[in-house]
């Protein structure tokens, strides 16, 4: 494997040190590097055990071990042993093993004078399980702990390792990758200049996403962002179950206000995104026509359809109401249902979606996003809030967002509008339990 300069620097650190942590931008080659270093240790120290782990089985099996099998196959010298899905066995105490586990007991019983532990996506690893791993790298001839991952949140053992005084650390920034520097696809499958420029435009260089996914730096945690990136990405990774498909469908329609704004339609159950469609350069008549098509396609009840009803949206709402008298009009500046807590309906709508995605919220029900939605993620995880002069929560005005991000949060607006009818069913601490039960 031909290493980039950044990867070579990490390899040099690992050759001379037993505790190494590497934070990396997206697509900068961290999993390929982890696989190559795991194989290096396995075939350099005999006998030896290499344990590879990550927060999820998918990360171990589908990402890291896929790389291990590929790197072994492409080795310039023959390497003995045939790798299985997550195991390479050369003898009773001479093997590689991959696992993700919630059972601390499975972290025990690996005895060998030479042990290497590779923790991929270490930023998401459970601290209790990490403590169990440390017991495996004490004593012996060569015991290595190698942590690597995207620096998503500045908490936990991975974050702490960058300031503990003994772990050697490195950073793989996308901006230092040969593909980005040259503007050419020198290493297929790795980060590209096109992707970096896309993230720069979508998120901005002052965003947490840019800091962690491009620069490979732990982001400065912003306490004024409506939705955490971690919450949203958990929804993207969520596995669909039958419960996600239960219940009625809702639709929110965000009608464009300005020439460069886009019309956006969000359809979903209260636990699942079913569809998200965005179109450019549409006149109100086209928005009306497409909305009618979606109402028919999904057999939507009128009261479960909510239209952004200001500006051009007022026209769209008025025309649609003639055929669908029960549809709802959403005006962000109107008084919120919970007026003592939220400055207006717009704020309350965004906060409602925040609670739907926040695992610590009583409203959380394992929301299923159905895959990656970069624009929606950027909208929800970039919008800010602040206290109003009345002491209520107030959403960042759209004009301010547009000036800061150079675009409108169209997809975020359509999702928050979609779920506004559900607000009456939830409690923010101002509605009594009987009220909630009675509204269901």
pLDDT of res. 106 = 65
Q: Hunting for tokens 């350099």 — which residue is that?
A: 44
Asked whether residue 26 is assigned to any structural domain, the reply reads yes
Mean pLDDT of the chain: 90
Asked whether residue 207 is assigned to any structural domain, the reply reads no
pLDDT band at 427 (very low <50, low <70, confident <90, very high): very low
Regarding whether 190 and 48 lie in a shared domain, the answer is yes
Regarding whether 28 and 130 lie in a shared domain, the answer is yes
Asked whether residue 37 is assigned to any structural domain, the reply reads yes
- Check which CATH number belongs to the domain holding 170 and give it: 3.40.50.300
pLDDT of res. 428 = 45
Regarding whether 125 and 255 lie in a shared domain, the answer is no
Does the pLDDT of residue 430 top 50, yes or no? no
pLDDT band at 429 (very low <50, low <70, confident <90, very high): very low
Regarding whether 274 and 168 lie in a shared domain, the answer is no
Regarding whether 257 and 160 lie in a shared domain, the answer is no
Regarding whether 165 and 17 lie in a shared domain, the answer is yes
d(CA 11, CA 29): 13
pLDDT band at 137 (very low <50, low <70, confident <90, very high): confident
Does the pLDDT of residue 291 top 90, yes or no? yes
Asked whether residue 216 is assigned to any structural domain, the reply reads no
Burial 208-241 (b: 16+ CB within 10 A, else e): bbbbbbbbbbbbeeeeebbbbbbbbbbbbebeee
Of 44-48, 213-217, 403-407, least confident by mean pLDDT is: 403-407
Q: Hunting for tokens 């206000």 — which residue is that?
A: 257
Mean pLDDT, residues 159-183 taken together: 95
Regarding whether 179 and 103 lie in a shared domain, the answer is yes
Query: What does the pLDDT look like over 345-370, one tens digit per residue?
Result: 999 999 999 999 999 999 999 999 99
Query: What does the pLDDT look like over 86-120, one tens digit per residue?
Result: 999 998 889 999 987 665 566 666 778 899 999 99
* Confidence (pTM): 0.74
- DSSP lists the bridge partners of residue 272 as 269, 368
Regarding whether 297 and 190 lie in a shared domain, the answer is no
Domain residues for the domain of 91 are: 5-194
Q: Judge contact between 67 and 35, C-beta under 8 A.
A: yes
Element (H, E) at 23: strand 19-24
Regarding whether 182 and 253 lie in a shared domain, the answer is no
Asked whether residue 34 is assigned to any structural domain, the reply reads yes
- Check which CATH number belongs to the domain holding 359 and give it: 3.30.420.240
Query: What does the pLDDT look like over 11-44, one tens digit per residue?
Result: 999 999 999 999 999 999 999 999 999 999 999 9
Asked whether residue 359 is assigned to any structural domain, the reply reads yes
SS3 88: strand
Asked whether residue 402 is assigned to any structural domain, the reply reads yes
Regarding whether 159 and 235 lie in a shared domain, the answer is no
Regarding whether 157 and 96 lie in a shared domain, the answer is yes
- The count of structural domains within the chain is 2
Asked whether residue 311 is assigned to any structural domain, the reply reads yes
């Amino acid at each position: 494997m031909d290493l980039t300069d950044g990867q070579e620097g990490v390899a040099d650190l690992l050759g001379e040190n037993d505790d190494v942590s590497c934070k990396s931008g997206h697509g900068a080659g961290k999993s390929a590097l982890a696989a190559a270093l795991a194989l290096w240790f396995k075939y350099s120290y005999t006998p030896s055990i290499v344990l590879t782990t990550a927060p999820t089985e998918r990360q171990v099996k589908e990402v890291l071990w896929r790389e291990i099998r590929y790197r072994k196959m492409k080795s310039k010298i023959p390497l003995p042993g045939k790798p299985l899905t997550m195991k390479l066995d050369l003898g009773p105490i001479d093997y590689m093993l991959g696992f993700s586990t919630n059972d601390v007991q499975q972290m025990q019983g690996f005895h060998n004078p030479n042990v290497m532990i590779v923790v991929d996506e270490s930023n998401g690893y459970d601290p209790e399980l990490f403590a169990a791993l440390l017991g495996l790298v004490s004593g012996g001839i060569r015991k290595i702990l190698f942590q690597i991952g995207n620096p998503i949140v500045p908490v936990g053992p991975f974050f702490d390792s960058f300031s503990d005084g003994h772990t050697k650390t490195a950073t793989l920034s996308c901006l230092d990758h040969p593909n980005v520097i040259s503007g050419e696809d020198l290493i297929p499958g790795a980060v590209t200049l096109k992707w970096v420029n896309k993230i720069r435009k979508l998120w901005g260089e002052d965003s947490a996403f840019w800091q962690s996914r491009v620069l490979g730096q732990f982001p400065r945690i912003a306490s004024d962002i409506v939705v955490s990136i971690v919450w949203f990405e958990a929804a993207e990774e969520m596995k669909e179950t039958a419960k996600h498909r239960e219940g009625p469908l809702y639709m929110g329609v965000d009608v464009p206000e300005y020439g460069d704004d886009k019309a956006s339609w969000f359809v979903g159950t209260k636990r699942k995104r079913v569809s998200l469609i965005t179109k450019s350069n549409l006149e109100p008549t086209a928005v009306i026509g497409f909305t009618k098509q979606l109402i028919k396609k999904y057999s939507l009840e009128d009261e479960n359809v909510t239209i952004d009803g200001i500006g051009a949206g007022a026209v769209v709402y008025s025309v649609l109401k003639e055929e669908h008298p029960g549809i709802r009009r959403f005006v962000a500046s109107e008084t919120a249902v919970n007026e003592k807590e939220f400055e207006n309906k717009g704020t309350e709508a965004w906060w409602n979606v925040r609670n739907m995605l926040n695992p610590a919220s009583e409203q959380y029900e394992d929301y299923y996003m159905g895959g990656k939605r970069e624009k929606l993620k950027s909208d929800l995880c970039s919008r800010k809030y602040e206290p109003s002069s009345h002491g209520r929560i107030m959403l960042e005005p759209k004009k301010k967002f547009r000036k800061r991000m150079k675009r409108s949060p169209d997809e975020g607006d359509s999702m928050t509008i979609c779920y506004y009818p559900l607000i009456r069913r939830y409690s923010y601490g101002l509605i009594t339990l009987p009220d909630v039960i009675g509204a269901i």
